[in-house]
A = this chain, B = another copy of it.
Amino acid sequence: LDRWPFFSFAIPLKLINATLRTMGAPLLLNSPISGSLILVALILDAPLTTCWGLAGLALSIIMALVLKQPQHIVTSGQVTQHGLLLGLLMGRALLHNTEHSLITTGITLALTAPLSVVAGNAMTTWLSQTNLPALTLSYILLGACVCLGLDYPDLPTSTSGILVNSSSVPNLQWSQVIEGTVRGAGQVYGCPTFASSCLILAAILLFSPTMFLQACLGTLVGSLCVLMQSNDLHRVYRGDYGRHSLLTALSLGGFFFVLNFYSCLVALAGAVMSAFIFQVMLKINMPVLTVPHVVATLVLLHTRMRGGLIKRIDLVYLTF
């Protein structure tokens, strides 16, 4: 009974707790309250896609239990979030084009979600050898396989109807830029409606005001950085550019580093770098997934300064 702690009277409660906490895991929010807000936001935006995500998550939790992962890791969603993200990715793909049959998608999810748990476990062990978090590397590896090998689209095509009028009005509208900045938060889960994005931002605010400020700063910097360089206004309004900068700034500024002037500077650098990397991946037509966030974060987490002006929080003290 001790070895297998999920077989107790509290199993349903524990499963709900694990599910809600995993909802926040891609944003590093380890809290069931934030998780439920995010779940509401997802259901509001696209109920069917959310079902696919939850199915992926359920498969991942089962695999994690089969592999006898420690309870705190299953609960925090560190290795099961990849299944959730893969489910959301396939659900979104299924919604937008009818090329893939329901059965093929189901089989693909049933194969990749458990696989993402094994790969997530392996990558966490690998990177923790040098005190690095694995973030969503496992999702990137399997998501890229699914996107490239089986032709599931990663990003919705540009003609998604939300902002058709902006093509006829090519001059910059600042209100839409601000709106796009907010939408960046929703884009992390692929739901770019304004209401859902606000709910997700509220979830971050509830978890930690510091991380909220860093997230806002990051997504704003990402959008501005692009405005100065190109005129891809569609994507700025839709929050595509803000997404990766938000994730990077949030991780670097408020989570893995102790907050001070210098870590804030590194978070800004990370936001700019994410925007650059995203631009490249769009140009060379690769599936983006969370690559800009992961690359920028893993590289800049190594920043060290004389006299310890930048302090890393050791991974063993963090639960995410």
Q: Which residues of A contact B (CB under 8 A)?
A: 66-70, 104, 107-108, 111-112, 114-115, 118-119, 121-123, 125-126, 129-130, 141-142, 144-146, 148-151, 225, 228-230, 262, 265-266, 269, 272-273, 276-277, 279-280, 282-284, 299-307, 309
CA distance A119 to B304 in the complex (A): 11
A114 and B69 within 8 A (CB):
no
- Interface of chain A, main secondary structure: helix
Q: Which residue of B lies closest to A129 (CB)?
A: B130
**Are A118's CB and B280's CB within 8 A?**
no
Least CB separation from A147: chain B residue: B280
CB < 8 Å neighbour of A122 from B130, B151, B300: B300
- Across the interface, A301 reaches (CB within 8 A) one of B122, B150, B228, namely B122
Judge whether A118 and B266 touch: CB under 8 Å: yes
Q: Whole-angstrom distance between the alpha carbons of A129 and B301 in the complex?
A: 14
Minimum Cβ distance to chain B for residue A267 (Å): 10
CB-based contact B272/A111 at 8 Å: yes
Q: Which residue of B lies closest to A282 (CB)?
A: B149
A121 touches B269 (CB 8 A): no
A233 to B107, CA, bound (A): 18
**B284 touching A148, Cβ below 8 Å:** yes
Note all chain B residues with C-beta closer than 8 A to A273.
Answer: 115, 119, 142, 145
Contact of A269 among B69, B115, B304, B309 (CB under 8 A): B115
| Contact partners of A269 in chain B: CB under 8 A | 114-115, 118-119
Give the CA-CA distance A107 to B226 in the complex, in Å: 11
Taking a contact as CB atoms under 8 Å apart, the answer to whether B125 and A280 are in contact is no
In the complex the two chains form, is B118's CB within 8 Å of A300's CB? Answer: yes
Q: Which residues on B sit within 8 Å (CB–CB) of A282?
A: 149
- In angstroms, Cα B141 to Cα A273, docked, is 10
* A273 vs B122: C-alpha distance when bound (angstroms): 13
